[in-house]
Structure 1
Amino acid sequence: MARTDMAGEQAYEGALSEDGKAGKARFLWRDRLWLGSLVALPYLSYMALVVMLGLFIAALVRRGGQVMGACAQRGFGWLAAGMLLSACFAIDKGEGFLQLTNFLPFFVMFGVMATVPSVVARPFEKLEFLAHWLLVSSIPMSLGAIAEFIIKFKAISPSVKALPLPDWLIAYIYEPDFGHRAHSFFGHPNMLSAYLAIVLGLGLGLMLKALNTRRNDTIAWMQGAALLVCVVSIFCTGSRNGLLISGVLIAIALYAARRHRWVLLCGLSIGAFLVSAAFAFGIGGRSLSLALVTQDPRLGVWRLAIEMIQQRPWLGWGFSGLRQLYIPGSIPEYDVIFHAHNFWLFLASEAGLPVTVAFCAVIGTIYYDGVKVYLNGGLAALKGGDRAILLGYLLAFASCILFGLFDVAVFDARVNLFNWGLVAAIYILSRSALPKPD
């Protein structure tokens, strides 16, 4: 099979030469539509998804063989077959097949994103540009989360509710009651936290590049401000998972920037702020105590998922199996449980252990290739700042992996799309370091 990046370069050059300026204009418009839809996705989700669906179909028409080749090369075909087989034995076959839409279309979307010709031809330039806009465009989301957190203080919320505001706005802010937690444009604080953690990883990569290239311009300061606001807004989501992820990502970034002492001091200051805020305000209105761990309902859900795995280890119970088998009230105060609140337990209990191992192998090898390129200096021929961009994407996807320890994000199409976009980006960046054939 031909190298994907070489095919992308040829397609890119062909598109630029096709009909001269007209071909170039059409190519640039497709790039702009991809960028615009990804940036707008957290805010105008339905509109952005419609645009991306059109781009998805157009990509399959123009380079369907290349897309399917990339998917087959990485083993997504076998993985899809395993999931389809599991769905055939689901206790609710209709729901089992329906929930495959959280996976199978995204396998193909990986192939589409991994073969965008302009990105394959100039991966670091294009993906740095994308990371910049995802970071900067998150500022309104972050500021909204901070504002929402403030007006949910018990001393402030009665005054806000008394204002002559539309009923739908009051309901959107305070209902459903997530406690002292911000959800902004997302349906749940945890999904907002998952999105912001991705942005945090990308932003840290951009900041590391600015340090490595000694860039000190307006754009660098804007990125730094957006990154700081992002960290504060993650705290405002009240997500323990989000705070843990933030600490891990910042620690890795500080280690990468250990030569810059002032950066280390800034990072430690941010860490001190998060810890102090957690002690002062709690996490999502919950005071810090061992009860946050020992009385977490996730523990009971995990036990149920493990029992399901023991009973049907090979094919699982089918997607939605836990919800179908759950007896209301088995976990106090919960009449329904939708998933296992751990991605690997969710996948193993509902699709079976073989599918789980295959999924980890397919995604894990792509991520491993990226980490290997970063650690082994495979980018020596490239500018030093490009290595930081790769690290940013690795950190962003690390946030997805860590988030999967305590929650499942595949049910939010926006976060799911970003997750698969990160996998495709790491695939492209790691392959760009391979020597090209003469």
Structure 2
Amino acid sequence: MAWLDQGRPSLASSRGWRCFQLGLFLLPSSALLGSLLLFPALLFGCAGRDRPYWRDPWNAPLLAAAGLMVLGCFGAYDQGLAWVGLANWLPFFWGFWGFQPYLMNPESRRRSALWLVAGSVPVVVTGLGQLWWGWQGPWQLLGGLIVWFVAAGGRPEGRLSGLFDYANIASAWLALVWPLTLAALVQQGLNRWRRVVVVILAVLLVVALVLTESRNGWGSLVLVVPIVLGPPSWPWLIPLLALALLPVLLSVLPGVPLMLQDPARTLVPEGLWARLNDSQYGGERVLASTRISQWNVALQLIVERPWLGWGAAAFSVIYPLRTGQWHGHAHNLPLELAISHGLPVAVLMVGFVLALLVVSLRRGLSGLFDRAWWTALFVLMVLHGTDLPFFDSRLNIAGWILLAGLRSSFSERAHAQH
């Protein structure tokens, strides 16, 4: 218990801090197990606050969005789905505020980041096991209350998914954890054996992320490195990355002369350049199955109901009626928000996240792990430009905890000045 109490912020209760850390550790393996500890941590985090929820100006856009979301449910395309869909948002507006006491100083954010990294070990191990050793579920815990459907060979076949339902979701989690793992790897003060452990974990995580075959995940591997290592590394790191990426670009970009493209494709693994330019589809993907078609229909739906939207999950019902293809969402978070809850809500939520990222960057990031924390949230935001991994509750919870950490860094400075 004394070890768990280390790094506890002054405004956090010891019981809440212990629950919060262990909840972060269990979260990657199970949203239920993680929530059994994070929920009491949330209750402890709300007790004894110096001002109520509505007095924090950063909560104002969340309150406004919540009101519009509830109002839109009364005229939704499918009211049942619309009311249920609020569970993806309203509880997390509360969590954003309630988790802040646990993230009020750089050390608590560092420890929280390391708990997420350590908790991701089962994701990496099960993912590698399903591809390399044919591991297969379902595995049950607590009498079937928790079931892991680990698919032999991955889901879809040949792509690592681990404890997640789909490879792209596993990739999103690993991409979120990658900057935190990189910070753990390059931090100072580790002894030899701890350094060896972190190196092994970092290598396995990168391998797992590559094996998801997610193009977003591959992009995050490169994007994260210069941001986490910071500006001092840029004079040598950015030219090195550009040199390493040049053969990849030559192998996939259209219009590159064959005298350049053919040698590049001999250097770059075929699985990589084939995945990047969609050649596995033979260049004949059905238009209705592409992001472009989904976004075109999404824009039409927004124009038809711009103010309060169609209600949560309406896209999954309307899109098949208009195209004959099924997709559960619009593969873009601002579009999904505008379809489900209207343009004002989309503007409020996107503006809220961007404002947190910009303001925290302008005020300065205090150290390596705060840079990694900011980068993890930035990567998650970028991923939501072409997919919606937040529908997995583990990623949703982690994302709001990252947001709470950025907000806490402002409160930390305000308290220090006061």
Structure-1-length-normalised TM-score: 0.76
The aligned residue for residue 317 of structure 1 is: 310
**Residues 27 and 119 of structure 2 are in contact (CA less than 8 Å); yes or no, is this contact kept in structure 1?**
no
Query: Structure 1 CA distance, aligned partners of 2:198 and 2:150?
Result: 30
SS in 1 for 2:28: coil
SS in 2 for 1:178: coil
The aligned residue for residue 35 of structure 2 is: 49
Q: Measured at CA, do residues 259 and 291 of structure 1 come closer, stay the same or move farther in structure 2, by a change above 3 Å?
A: closer
Structure 1 residue 324, shift from structure 2 partner: 2.1
1:7-37 Cα shifts (integer Å, max 9, x gaps): x97745xxxxxxxxxxxxxx43321211111
SS in 2 for 1:77: helix
The aligned residue for residue 156 of structure 1 is: none
Q: Which amino acid aligns with 2:176?
A: I
Q: Which amino acid aligns with 1:282?
A: G
Q: Which amino acid aligns with 1:327?
A: P
Query: Structure 1 CA distance, aligned partners of 2:68 and 2:357?
Result: 21
SS in 1 for 2:233: coil
Query: Structure 1 CA distance, aligned partners of 2:55 and 2:16?
Result: 22
Query: Structure 1 CA distance, aligned partners of 2:387 and 2:335?
Result: 10
The aligned residue for residue 105 of structure 1 is: 91
Query: Structure 2 CA distance, aligned partners of 1:399 and 1:47?
Result: 25
Query: Structure 2 CA distance, aligned partners of 1:43 and 1:354?
Result: 35
1:188-211 Cα shifts (integer Å, max 9, x gaps): 111111111111122233345x2x
Structure 1 residue 395, shift from structure 2 partner: 0.6
The aligned residue for residue 182 of structure 1 is: 160
The aligned residue for residue 78 of structure 2 is: 92
**Residues 247 and 271 of structure 1 are in contact (CA less than 8 Å); yes or no, is this contact kept in structure 2?**
no
1:235-278 Cα shifts (integer Å, max 9, x gaps): 11121121122221124345635279699869977999999999
Describe how 1:13-32 pairs up with structure 2 within 5 A: 27-32=13-18
Describe how 1:154-173 pairs up with structure 2 within 5 A: 168=138, 172-173=150-151
**Residues 136 and 223 of structure 1 are in contact (CA less than 8 Å); yes or no, is this contact kept in structure 2?**
no
**Residues 181 and 284 of structure 1 are in contact (CA less than 8 Å); yes or no, is this contact kept in structure 2?**
no
- 2:204 equivalent to 1:229: yes
Q: Measured at CA, do residues 433 and 168 of structure 1 come closer, stay the same or move farther in structure 2, by a change above 3 Å?
A: closer
Query: Structure 2 CA distance, aligned partners of 1:301 and 1:265?
Result: 37
Q: Measured at CA, do residues 71 and 193 of structure 1 come closer, stay the same or move farther in structure 2, by a change above 3 Å?
A: farther
1:286-313 Cα shifts (integer Å, max 9, x gaps): 5744677983622221111111112111
Describe how 1:141-290 pairs up with structure 2 within 5 A: 141-151=123-133, 168=138, 172-174=150-152, 177-208=155-186, 210=187, 213=188, 217-253=192-228, 256-258=231-233, 279-280=268-269, 282=271, 286=275, 288-289=277-278
**Residues 247 and 267 of structure 2 are in contact (CA less than 8 Å); yes or no, is this contact kept in structure 1?**
no
**Residues 239 and 284 of structure 1 are in contact (CA less than 8 Å); yes or no, is this contact kept in structure 2?**
no
Q: Which amino acid aligns with 2:400?
A: W
Q: 2:119 is matched with which residue: 137, 143, 160? A: 137
- 2:96 equivalent to 1:114: no
Structure 1 residue 220, shift from structure 2 partner: 3.8
- 2:397 equivalent to 1:422: no
**Residues 134 and 199 of structure 1 are in contact (CA less than 8 Å); yes or no, is this contact kept in structure 2?**
yes
Q: Which amino acid aligns with 2:396?
A: N
Query: Structure 1 CA distance, aligned partners of 2:271 and 2:89?
Result: 36
% same residue = 22
The aligned residue for residue 155 of structure 1 is: none
Over the aligned positions, Cα root-mean-square deviation in angstroms equals: 3.7
Structure 1 residue 427, shift from structure 2 partner: 1.3
Structure 1 residue 389, shift from structure 2 partner: 1.6
Q: Which amino acid aligns with 1:85?
A: L
**Residues 149 and 163 of structure 2 are in contact (CA less than 8 Å); yes or no, is this contact kept in structure 1?**
no
**Residues 155 and 166 of structure 2 are in contact (CA less than 8 Å); yes or no, is this contact kept in structure 1?**
no
- 2:391 equivalent to 1:411: yes
**Residues 90 and 318 of structure 1 are in contact (CA less than 8 Å); yes or no, is this contact kept in structure 2?**
yes
- 2:367 equivalent to 1:387: yes
The aligned residue for residue 142 of structure 2 is: none
Structure 1 residue 130, shift from structure 2 partner: 1.6
Structure 1 residue 97, shift from structure 2 partner: 1.4
1:332-378 Cα shifts (integer Å, max 9, x gaps): xx4x321101111111122111111111222221111111123xxxx
The aligned residue for residue 369 of structure 1 is: 359
SS in 2 for 1:173: coil
Query: Structure 1 CA distance, aligned partners of 2:376 and 2:413?
Result: 20
Query: Structure 2 CA distance, aligned partners of 1:281 and 1:137?
Result: 33
Moved more, 412-421 or 317-326: 317-326
The aligned residue for residue 396 of structure 1 is: 376
Q: Which amino acid aligns with 1:416?
A: N
Structure-2-length-normalised TM-score: 0.79
Query: Structure 2 CA distance, aligned partners of 1:104 and 1:171?
Result: 28
Q: Measured at CA, do residues 264 and 168 of structure 1 come closer, stay the same or move farther in structure 2, by a change above 3 Å?
A: same
1:58-95 Cα shifts (integer Å, max 9, x gaps): 44455495445447645321121121122222111121
Moved more, 315-324 or 417-426: 315-324
**Residues 373 and 402 of structure 2 are in contact (CA less than 8 Å); yes or no, is this contact kept in structure 1?**
yes
Query: Structure 1 CA distance, aligned partners of 2:240 and 2:412?
Result: 34
Aligned length: 385
Structure 1 residue 56, shift from structure 2 partner: 2.5
Moved more, 216-225 or 39-48: 216-225
Query: Structure 2 CA distance, aligned partners of 1:59 and 1:431?
Result: 14
Q: Measured at CA, do residues 171 and 219 of structure 1 come closer, stay the same or move farther in structure 2, by a change above 3 Å?
A: closer
**Residues 87 and 318 of structure 1 are in contact (CA less than 8 Å); yes or no, is this contact kept in structure 2?**
yes
Structure 1 residue 55, shift from structure 2 partner: 2.7
Structure 1 residue 434, shift from structure 2 partner: 4.7
